[in-house]
Amino acid sequence: MAKELYKLPALKYGYADLEPYISEEQLRIHHDKHHQSYVNNANSLLQMMDKAREEGTDFDYKATAKAFSFNLGGHVLHDYFWWEMMPAEKAGKEPTGELSDAIKENFGGFERFKKEFSQVASGVEGSGWAALTFCKDTKRLGIMQIEKHNVNLIPDYPIIMALDVWEHAYYLDYKNERGKFIDAFWNIVDWEELDKWFRKMQKV
């Protein structure tokens, strides 16, 4: 039986549907090229390890573990990023439901959360992500600053929302102005979907 491999997820909207905040060209390159490369690399590493184990041969375990973590992390984080967005004309401007209540309780209100999350995203050194997370022990929301795809992650903290601030996410549209991209992101967040995900994560 053939072993399962990772797959590039389909988008729930058209390539031009996030305009003017993310252009069709930017989205196509980001999804079809960059994300696809992480999927391809992770799958290649899986197949290499499978072959080595079948043949009883060795491989560079340290380098492989590092490369697999990087590429699989890129795949997983991008998967979050795609489904949490929607066309601006359908998107709500603020969180809804239990997620809205939790943001008010933990941050004092949406504007304060938005400010902190944006600052964390802006402050990523080089390439990385900002992510809204949830601690099951303390029942608190928090914000992670992830370097690359796999550095500074807090183990066992589920991600509720992730924002990609690698240059490949925004350079065609915003050049080196990361802050403008972060501001634009808030116009295309699917808050209803995030609220459903938050409620699900609390029960896991």
The answer to whether 100 and 132 have CB atoms below 8 angstroms apart is no
Tokens of 191: 């808050």
Rounded CA gap, 122 and 181, in Å? 10
| 109 torsion bin: left (phi>0), alpha (psi -120 to 50), beta (else) | left
Closest to 39 in 3D by CA, of 71, 83, 64: 71
Rounded CA gap, 166 and 17, in Å? 21
Residue owning tokens 């389909």: 10
Rounded CA gap, 172 and 170, in Å? 6
pTM value is: 0.95
Where do the structural domains in the chain lie, given as residue ranges? Answer: 24-83, 97-203
The answer to whether 148 and 137 have CB atoms below 8 angstroms apart is no
Backbone dihedral angles phi then psi of residue 19, each to the nearest 5 degrees: -70, 150
97-203: CATH topology:
minor pseudopilin epsh fold (3.55.40)
Spell out the residues 6+ positions from residue 16 whose beta carbon is closer than 8 angstroms to its own.
23, 24, 27
> Residue 203 has what pLDDT?
83
CATH of domain 24-83: 1.10.287.990
One pLDDT digit (tens) per residue for the chain, 204 residues: 568 999 999 999 999 999 999 999 999 999 999 999 999 999 999 999 999 999 999 999 999 999 999 999 999 999 999 999 999 999 888 999 999 999 999 999 999 999 999 999 999 999 999 999 999 999 999 999 999 999 988 888 999 999 999 999 999 999 999 999 999 999 999 999 999 999 999 887
Query: Which H/E stretch holds residue 146?
Result: strand 140-147
**Radius of gyration for the chain, computed over Cα atoms and rounded to the nearest angstrom:** 18
Residue owning tokens 């928090």: 142
> Residue 92 has what pLDDT?
86
> Residue 1 has what pLDDT?
58
> Residue 3 has what pLDDT?
85
Rounded CA gap, 153 and 192, in Å? 25
